[in-house]
Amino acid sequence: MQGDKKIYETLKKLNISFKYYEHPSIPTIDLAKIYKKNINATHCKNIFLRNHKGNKHFFIVVEQNYDVNIRKLELLLKQGKLSFASEKRLNKYLNVKPGAVSPLGLIYDTDNNTHVFIDKNLERAKELSFHPNIDNVSLVIKTIDLLKYLTATGNSFEFIELY
């Protein structure tokens, strides 16, 4: 299996089953819509943000078709000015490069510096798809297992109505 071995080890340790899919590299949502159309799951858009000071980090998980407006997020989350985290921060906190961002990478945020906001609409999804820190593989896991995984990472998380 391609992807981050530590993610697979963590899934196994937590007894989280998954479906594994290989596909061409899909670093963008537009390509994901093409190559993941036959994968039966709710496909997610994952965004890693930082506050203006750079001392707080936020991970946003929404359905892939949702257009995230950073300014509206700032008002909703009440965390001040937000911006996309740099490639250096992606590597430091998630061990990932742009285009393969996934909450599965939060196992690398060992100091639990990141708070996760999950769109409330995803609570109803049976299964969700994420990259295992590589953009040519997708894993499908049950939504309840994502929560189990996030709990195991120690990062705080909450469901929030984003739209």
State the pLDDT at residue 88: 95
Scan for tokens 């061990």, then name that residue. Answer: 95
State the pLDDT at residue 67: 86
For residues 137 and 131, what is the distance between their CA atoms, to the nearest angstrom?
6
Query: Global pTM?
Result: 0.92
For residues 80 and 102, what is the distance between their CA atoms, to the nearest angstrom?
23
Domain that holds residue 150: 5-160
Asked whether residue 29 carries a pLDDT value surpassing 80, the answer given is no
- The domain tally of the chain equals 1
pLDDT in tens, 53-102: 999 999 999 999 888 888 988 998 888 899 999 999 999 999 999 889 99
Asked whether residue 36 carries a pLDDT value surpassing 90, the answer given is no
Q: Please name the helix (run of DSSP H) or strand (run of DSSP E) that holds residue 146, with its range, or none.
A: helix 143-153
For residues 29 and 156, what is the distance between their CA atoms, to the nearest angstrom?
26
**Nearest C-alpha neighbor of 14 from the set 23, 22, 25, 6:** 6
**Nearest C-alpha neighbor of 64 from the set 34, 89, 95, 87:** 34
pLDDT in tens, 97-156: 988 999 999 999 999 999 999 999 999 999 999 999 999 999 999 999 999 999 999 999
pLDDT in tens, 45-55: 999 999 999 99
Strands 127-130 and 42-51: parallel
CATH of the domain at 46: 3.90.960.10
